[in-house]
Every structure is written in C-alpha cells, then in structure tokens.
Amino acid sequence: MSLRDVGFEYVTSDRRVIRALEGVSIDIPRGTTVAFVGPSGCGKSTLLKLIAGLLTTTRGSVVVDGRAVVGPLKHVGMAFQNPVLLPWRTVLDNLLLPLEIMRENGDPRTPNRVAGRDRALALLRTVGLDGAEHRQPRELSGGMRQRVSLCRALIHEPALLLLDEPFAALDAFTREEMWELHQALGLDRAFTGVLVTHDLREAVFLAETIYVMATDPGRIAHVHPVTFPVPRTLGELYGPAGTELIRQMRDEIRPRREASA
C-alpha cells in the first residue's frame, strides 16, 4: 500500500477549511504493521479513513494492492476505541455480522455458515472468550467487549486491519494483554495492520514502523523503524532500547504541544 502526497481538507459547517493532512507520502509493505502517533487533532483518524476509502483525498492518492482507492474498500477490518457492538445480538451474532453482509453481497470469499461459526468460535477461543458466544454484550466487561470488537474486525480474514486507538479505554494490565493477543493474532494471519494510538509503548510493541505526526497542518514529522524481532516481549519493550525509543518520540511530540499551548 502506498500514499502519495496525500492531503485532506475538511470544510466545516460554517465554511471554514481545516487542513487535516498535507503531503503524506508513505509505503506500507504487505503483511507489516505500522503505527501513527502524534498529538490530538493531527489527523490520525482522518488518515485511517482515507486509507479505508471512507473519505476521499483532496490531494494525492492512496493506492492499495496496485489500485487507487476511490470509494470504501470492501474487505477491511476496523476497530475503534468504542467497541460499538450491537446490543440486541449475542456475541456470536455480533461476530457473524460481517459475514452476513458479505453473503448478502455475494462475496465469493464468504465461508459457509458452519465454517463461519467455527471461525467465530476459534477467534473467541484465541482471545480467551470461549463460552461467551451466547452472552449479550451488556453482560461483558469493557475489555471483553473490546476483544469481541477485535474479533469482529478479523472474522472475515481481511487483508487490511485498521485500528483507531482500540485499547485506549482499557486499564493498563488489560491493555498489555491485548497487545500480546493482537501480536498472536497477527502471527497467525498475515494482515497488513495500521494502528493509530496515543500510547507510545503500544506503538513500539506492535508496529514495524512508527510515524510520528505533527499538527497544523497534519503531516508526518518523523519515521522510526522498530527493529526488535517479532514476536516481542513486554520485557524488551520496557528494556533500555524500548525506553530510549519511547523517550525520543515523546520529545518529538511534546515541544510542539508546549509551543502551541
């Protein structure tokens, strides 16, 4: 996937133009995970939506699998900070929603019902929710809901997984568990991952490349390859190399914030 000189402007309801992104050019090799970090409002979520085709670039182009993105891509997994499960469906039926949509749309990649169900149950097992398939979302804790939301993003085995601060609402311990879980899922399935996060440790743990963004206009300010071999451990993350990388990125983000404050 590659982004060439991507720019995006929002026009607000009172006709002001907000330059959310400018001159973003990056390449994301297939099967790798990249992370975007940066101050609030620097256009991270916007970038994710441009990649998914939910927004259309006002400048430049996004190319996925050799084709320019013009409308919503049809086979992408997405998860957000808010798990947005459907409260009237059981956990299992929530997971099966993407497959229902694919089936209705005649997507040849749709597994049959039995296979889809098996896939959902296997995913639930991987995230430690076996036996929860018939429970209602409201009966789950926040962390459990987030895991279901992640499973829903993976059930159709997307080639592209887009995550917008998926673990931000979780407590520190659950979050670390989720990182390890996510890493395990990534080792099983070869998806290209794009992660937006506020948590620098999360970025270091999960991404092969980290893009530090700056604001006004939103742009890429620094690029950091993360060289630890995969799979990674929390020990490495909190070791000297990890800590040093995090410190460096924090310094890159912080002066800008103080200057604008």
Which residues would be at the binding site for ligand ATP (CB under 6 A)? 10, 12, 18, 20, 40-46, 218
The CA-based angle 10-16-22, given to 5 degrees, is: 40
Write the DSSP string, 169-221. TS-HHHHHHHHHHHHHHHHHS--EEEEE-S-HHHHHHH-SEEEEEETTTTEEE
Residue closer to ligand ATP by CB (options 177, 211) is 211
Q: Does 82 bind Mg ion (CB under 5 A)?
A: no
Tokens of 95: 């997971």
Residue closer to another protein by CB (options 156, 182) is 156
Q: How far is the CB of 47 from ligand ATP (least distance, A)?
A: 7
Residue closer to ligand ATP by CB (options 127, 195) is 195
Residue closer to ligand ATP by CB (options 98, 218) is 218
Residues in contact with another protein, shown as a per-residue x/- string from 160 to 179 under the rule CB under 8 A: --x-x---------------
Tell which phi-psi region holds residue 100, choosing left (phi > 0), alpha (psi between -120 and 50) or beta: alpha
The number of helices, as runs of H, and strands, as runs of E, in the chain is 8, 10
The edge-to-edge listing of strands for the beta sheet with 67-68 is 17-27, 2-11, 59-64, 67-68
Q: Is 150 exposed, middle or buried (0-12, 13-18, 19+ CB in 10 A)?
A: buried
173 binds, among another protein, Mg ion, ligand ATP, none (CB under 5 to 8 A by kind): none
Instruction: Determine which residue in the list 45, 58, 61, 82 makes contact with Mg ion, applying CB under 5 A.
Output: 45
Under rule CB under 8 A, which residues in 65-124 are in contact with another protein? 72-80, 82, 84, 86-88, 97-98, 100-102, 104-105, 107
Q: CA 179 to CA 203: how far, in whole Å?
A: 10
Q: Does 220 bind another protein (CB under 8 A)?
A: no
The residues of the shown chain that bind another protein, judged by CB under 8 A, are 49, 52-54, 72-80, 82, 84, 86-88, 97-98, 100-102, 104-105, 107, 136, 138, 152-153, 156, 162, 164
